[in-house]
Every structure is written in C-alpha cells, then in structure tokens.
A and B are shown apart, each in its own frame.
Chain A
Amino acid sequence: MNLPTAILSHIGGTLLLLVRTLKYLPTLPRQFPRFMEHCYLIGYTSLPIVTILSFFIGSVLALQSGYSMENFGAKQFIGTLVGLTMARELGPVMVAILITGRVGSAVTAELASMKVYQEIDALVTMNIPPERMLVLPRLAAVLVMMPVLAIIANLCGWYGGALVCQYTHFISVDSEAYFSALKLYMKPRDIVDGLIKAEFFGFVIMLVCCYIGLNTRGGPREIGASVTKAVVTSLILILVLDYFVTKALLFT
C-alpha cells in the first residue's frame, strides 16, 4: 500500500471507529463507573504534571517577554501577553501534548496489548463490542477532563507569570498591574476558544490512540511500535490541526 492510500485508509478506519463508537452513546450512563475511572486516570493523575509545567511555562513566558519588552517600554503589557498566550495557545497545546505522552501512550499500549494477547477477540466472541467498553468511556472522559486541565493550566501559567514579574528585578511589575493588564485586554471569548481547542485536541488524541491500539497486528514488539506511532501521529495532528482550528476560531 502506498503512502496516500495508507493515510486515506487510516483516516477512514478512524472515522469508522468513531461512527461505531457513537452508536453506543446511549449505553454511556450505565458505564458510569468506567467513565469515572478514566476521568480519574486522565484528569486527576495528570494534574501534578500539568500544574508544574504550566506554572513554569507561564514563568518563562513572562521572563522572556519582560526581557524583550523592556527595550520598548511595554512591560505593563506582559500580563496581557502571558494571559492571551496561555489561554489561546500554550495552555491547550501543552495539555494536549502532555495527555498524548501520558495518557495516549498508555491507552495505545493497553489496547495493543489486549489485541496481541487476544483479549479483544475474547470480547468480540462474548458479544461485547470493544468500541462500547473500551473506546466510548475514554472518549467521554477526555472530553470532560480536557477543558478542566486547560483551565488549571491557564491559571497556573498566569500565576507563574505574575510571580516572575513581581520578583524579577529587571521586570518589577507587581501582581496588581499584571492582572489588570491581563483582564483589560482579554475577553471571555479568548478563554472559550482555548477550551474548544483543548476539547478538539483531546478528542483527536484519544480517537487516534484507540484506533492504533485496536489495529495492532503481530506480537509484543508491535505494542511498542504502535505506541510510537500513536504518539508521533497525535503530536503531528495536534500541531497541524492547531493552525486550522485557530484560524477557524479567529474568523468565526
């Protein structure tokens, strides 16, 4: 199979998985415990790393912009810059990249292992559709947890920036001025756009990772290959789709 055909085949397969999964949407309420388990794995266990990384991303953003903006006397706008960048771009993209590495890889490894060791075949013979039991609760959980994680990332990034601005001698913008600038030029729409992006990225990551995991062929070695493939594909998709989603959101 040549590359364009393979890409089209994978896109088709992923969309087919989505259609099959959505068919079982009415079964979601009775899968509540499973859904909660995935919310815990995606949201709660990712919280420490999201908090730490977004805090330092906000901090370094403030540091770099403070250094550059000092030259043309625009230090009072650092709050706006950090606020907008975190809410519209870095918050959702960073959370998506973290979820790819932390959750997407684990999901692919688990499903690929289930496929290789015939657990998926066992589900099929038991007339339990894997889409219903394995994909649907994960998709629902990621859709719920991504905006939550993005909001936490935004807050941590903003506060990281505020701390740096206050305590770095060549910036010296106090927190009050920082947050005033942040509030002055930021609209609720900016935060909502970021959350829409996070939601979209989470959905794509989970769907791609489930598809690649469930379509693993061969032995244990292929589990590792599937994880690599899922992570690389998700990262490429996040960054490529980011441009198009941002453009769509800016012009709607």
Chain B
Amino acid sequence: MNSAFTASPFVGKTFGVTVSRLHKSFGRATVLTDINLDVKPGEIFCIMGPSGSGKSVLLKHIAGLETATSGEVRIGEFDAADPETRNKIHLALVFQAGALFSSLSVYDNLALYPREHRQGNEAGIRERVMHALSILSLEKAVHKFPSDLSGGMKKRVAIARALVMEPQLLLYDEPTSELDPVMSATLTEIIATLREQTAVTSIVVTHDRDLAFNIADRLAFVMDGRIRGLGLPADFKSPADPVIANFLNPVIDLKNPRFKQLENHHE
C-alpha cells in the first residue's frame, strides 16, 4: 500500500486549528463545555472518548457544520463557522459512514468536487480521480455504486474523495469503526502515510485505542463534553486518571459485570 504514495496529491499549505472556550448546547442538553485545543499545522491530533462524549460534535464545529453556543473555532486565521472560510481553505471530512452520494458512481463521487469547482478539463479530472483511487487500491471499484461496496471500501472511497479535494486540513470521524482488524490496520497505515507524504494537518476522532496510539502526535480525551486529558500518546499509556485508565484498559469482570452496576446505578 505504501509504495503507492509516490506523488503528493496535495497542493498549498496546511493549517492549524484553535478551539477556544467552546460551549455547545442543544436545547437544555449541554454537549460541549469549555473546550480549548490548539492543533499545530502538520500534526495528527486524535480526539478520543467514549460514545456520546461529544467528540463528533466537536469535529462538526471544526468542519463548520455546527454553530457554537459560545466560544470559537479558528482554522489558521479563519473562523470555522464562517461559510466564506470554505472558499479560502480546502477542508475535507471523512464521515463515519462515508457519506458517499448514493446516486453517483465511485468515479462521479470523486469527480464531483473538481467538476463543481471547475478545476481543469475532464481528462485532468479523470487523471486526478484515478490517482486517488490507485492510492487506495480502488481501481476496480471505479464504476460501482456505494450500495455495492463493503463498509471498508466505502471508507476508502471516502478517503479517496477527500484526497481529490487536495485538502489543507483533513478530518476523520471514526475512520476504523465497524471495520475488521486488518482493515483497521490498513486505514491506520493510510492515515499515517498520507500525513507523512503530505504534511497535512489531520484531526482524527476515534475510540479506537490502537489507531490513536499508532498515529497520534498528540491526544485529547473527551468525557461528558469536557477535555479530561491532553498530551502525548506516551502520557496515556498508563494514565493517572482512573476514568481514562478504565476506558483505555477496561477490565472484564464476569463475576461483577459492568451492566449490572449500571442497572443498580439507574435504579
């Protein structure tokens, strides 16, 4: 797979991300509270945490898909919530379920961005699309439709679509969820190698411990909408915080199962 990364599909500079005092509420439910982050240009930054902790909502704020209740997110010097920002930087988000356009073939999914932004003629676009597909070993899927693809292939097509956009900031939402261990390892390699080859800033939301420890330059641990831990992967190998330790190294106790404790707690 790595040998395929012979030429960078990216152009231009990459951007850091600054999140300052971010709060987000949906009605009465507070989802994010006082989030502060500083992701440096070229860094792979992983946001970890249990399901429902607010990681994906945080990522949506960075992508400009959600508006903060208070606080702000800046990509370089630009406000992430300002729609004009997307005219100034190339931002790509790899969605958890791929979010491929179901009515378009794999080729047309990838060609949509350069066509809509009039980036070259059809021959040039074809070359760009085929290059991105070759990077992810997807040449044989070019004429297929998303409904014909497996979960792993959908994620690879979604990454290929992001590559065609020549992103200056690459966001991943749970890239390895619902994948088998081999495909998870492959995607981990793809994310790391893309950064190595292109130096693009990558923010990865995940609860996959192996993915985070293998690729992250730095990690943030989000719990109940707050940053509970922030540091290097080495700092999380044996964390002092028992909540983080329990998440990263859960102990399976069949005599006193967790769900029974939850039942008692709710009662």
Q: Known contacts being A117-B99, A118-B99, is A125 close to B113, with CB within 8 Å?
A: no
Question: With a CB–CB cut-off of 8 A, which chain A residues contact B86?
Answer: 124-125, 127
Bound together, the chains give a CA A114 to CA B65 distance in angstroms of: 15
B117:A122 contact, CB within 8 angstroms: no
Of A110, A114, A122, A128, which is within 8 A of B116 by CB?
Answer: A128
B99:A126 contact, CB within 8 angstroms: no
**Is A119 on the interface with B (CB-CB < 8 A)?**
yes
Question: With a CB–CB cut-off of 8 A, which chain B residues contact A193?
Answer: none
**Is B5 on the interface with A (CB-CB < 8 A)?**
no
Q: Known contacts being A118-B99, A119-B102, A122-B101, is A128 close to B113, with CB within 8 Å?
A: yes
Cross-chain pair count, CB within 8 angstroms: 47
Instruction: Give a binary string over A55-78; 1 marks a CB under 8 Å from any B CB, 0 the rest.
Output: 000000000000000000000000
**Is A17 on the interface with B (CB-CB < 8 A)?**
no
Instruction: Give a binary string over A90-133; 1 marks a CB under 8 Å from any B CB, 0 the rest.
Output: 00000000000000000000100110011101101111100001
A121:B65 contact, CB within 8 angstroms: yes
A125:B65 contact, CB within 8 angstroms: yes
Within 8 A of A (CB), among B56-101: 60, 63-65, 86-87, 91-93, 95, 97, 99-101
A36 nearest CB across to chain B (Å)? 16
**Is B165 on the interface with A (CB-CB < 8 A)?**
yes
Q: Is the interface of A mostly helix, strand, loop or mixed?
A: helix
Question: With a CB–CB cut-off of 8 A, which chain A residues contact B165?
Answer: 126
Q: Known contacts being A117-B102, A119-B102, is A126 close to B112, with CB within 8 Å?
A: yes
Within 8 A of B (CB), among A106-163: 110, 113-114, 117-119, 121-122, 124-128, 133
Question: With a CB–CB cut-off of 8 A, which chain A residues contact B102?
Answer: 113, 117, 119
Of A117, A118, A122, A125, which is within 8 A of B64 by CB?
Answer: A125
* CB nearest neighbor in A for B92: A125
Bound together, the chains give a CA A113 to CA B100 distance in angstroms of: 12
Question: With a CB–CB cut-off of 8 A, which chain B residues contact A113?
Answer: 102
B112:A128 contact, CB within 8 angstroms: yes
Of B99, B103, B112, which is within 8 A of A121 by CB?
Answer: B99
Question: With a CB–CB cut-off of 8 A, which chain B residues contact A128?
Answer: 112-113, 116-117
Of A110, A122, A127, A133, which is within 8 A of B99 by CB?
Answer: A122
A132 nearest CB across to chain B (Å)? 8
B43 nearest CB across to chain A (Å)? 20
B101:A119 contact, CB within 8 angstroms: yes
* CB nearest neighbor in B for A31: B116
> Interface of A with B (CB < 8 Å)?
110, 113-114, 117-119, 121-122, 124-128, 133
> 7 interchain pairs (CB within 8 A)?
A121-B60, A121-B93, A122-B93, A125-B65, A125-B86, A125-B91, A126-B116
The 10 A-B pairs of least Cβ separation, nearest first, read A118-B99, A127-B86, A122-B99, A125-B93, A128-B116, A118-B95, A126-B113, A121-B65, A125-B63, A119-B99
Known: A118-B97, A125-B92, A127-B86. 11 other contacts (CB 8 A): A117-B97, A119-B100, A119-B101, A119-B102, A122-B93, A122-B99, A124-B64, A126-B112, A127-B117, A128-B113, A128-B117
> Interface of B with A (CB < 8 Å)?
60, 63-65, 86-87, 91-93, 95, 97, 99-103, 112-113, 116-117, 165
